[in-house]
């Protein structure tokens, strides 16, 4: 079953074409890694796939989209703002409900962030902020995940921990990744982007690192 699709999609900045035309279909239960050098068009492709009106999409954007003055808890809670009414959300902003705290705390613990629950997002390191954005997506638990370089600021073991959390939560995902090893390990399918087009589209099981080197 189709989860996301682009058909003859294009993107440009002013007069300059940066992506496409390209056609891409993501099926339910499929995790797709987008790989390629910086500037190849991975982020642009993810932005074309994202529709903020769809409540079944979770997004980890490259800029993270955090509110720097709010706590880690509140930033993660925003993953489910649409599930509650305004009054509930305002009350939770002023005095967080225990059931929401109890739901978020284990997600942060898994990502090594349990002791930062009440820290302001703006006080955190880049890697910590990235994990907050990931925790927000985990808390949202939507039908499909779109993530743009979700582990770029993390070291090896921690990057693996975050990728495990994301892929265990989301059967259907499109992950923009620069790390070839992670792409081959956690994706079912690898789509290579080069010069604004799809240069490779193969099952991950058929690929090795050498197959992807030409994309970089």
**pLDDT for res 60:** 98
Q: How far apart are CA 10 and CA 71, in angstroms?
A: 38
> What is the rounded CA–CA span in Å between residue 206 and residue 42?
22
pLDDT digit string (tens) for 88-127? 999 999 999 999 999 999 999 999 999 999 999 999 999 9
pLDDT value of position 15: 82
Please give the Cα distance from 199 to 86 (Å, whole number). Answer: 46
Average pLDDT over residues 167-191: 97
pLDDT band, very low/low/confident/very high, at 39 (cuts 50, 70, 90): confident
Closest CA to 125 of 177, 39, 64: 64
| Residue 109 CB partners (closer than 8 Å, separation 6+) | none
Residue 177 confidence (pLDDT): 96
SS3 content of the chain, % helix, strand, coil (to 5): 45, 25, 30
pLDDT over 90 at 18, yes or no: no
Average pLDDT over the chain, rounded to an integer: 96
List of domains in the chain = 1-56+143-216 (3.40.50.300), 68-141 (no CATH)
Q: How far apart are CA 16 and CA 103, in angstroms?
A: 46
Is the predicted pLDDT of residue 188 greater than 90, yes or no?
yes
pLDDT tens digit sequence for 40-62: 899 999 999 998 889 899 999 99
216, 59, 79, 72: which is closest to 149 by C-alpha? 59
pLDDT at residue 17, as a whole number: 85
């Amino acid at each position: 079953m189709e989860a996301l699709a682009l058909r003859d999609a294009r993107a440009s900045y002013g007069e300059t074409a940066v992506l496409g035309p390209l056609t891409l279909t993501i099926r339910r239960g499929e995790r797709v890694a987008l790989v390629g050098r910086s500037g190849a068009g991975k982020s642009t492709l993810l932005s074309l796939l994202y529709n903020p009106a769809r409540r079944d999409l979770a997004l980890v954007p490259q800029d993270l989209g955090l509110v720097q003055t709010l706590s880690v808890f509140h930033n993660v809670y925003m993953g489910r703002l649409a599930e509650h009414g305004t009054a509930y959300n305002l009350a939770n902003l002023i005095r967080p409900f225990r059931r929401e705290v109890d739901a978020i705390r284990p997600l942060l613990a898994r990502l090594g962030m349990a002791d930062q629950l009440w820290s302001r997002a703006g006080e955190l390191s880049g890697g910590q902020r990235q994990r907050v954005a990931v925790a927000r997506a985990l808390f949202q638990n939507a039908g499909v995940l779109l993530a743009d370089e979700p582990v770029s600021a993390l070291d090896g073991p921690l990057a693996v921990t975050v990728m495990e959390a994301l892929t265990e939560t989301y059967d259907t995902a499109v992950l923009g990744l620069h790390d070839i090893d992670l792409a081959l390990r956690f994706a079912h399918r690898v789509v290579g982007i080069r010069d604004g087009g799809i240069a490779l589209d193969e099952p991950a099981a058929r690929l090795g690192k050498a197959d992807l080197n030409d994309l970089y």
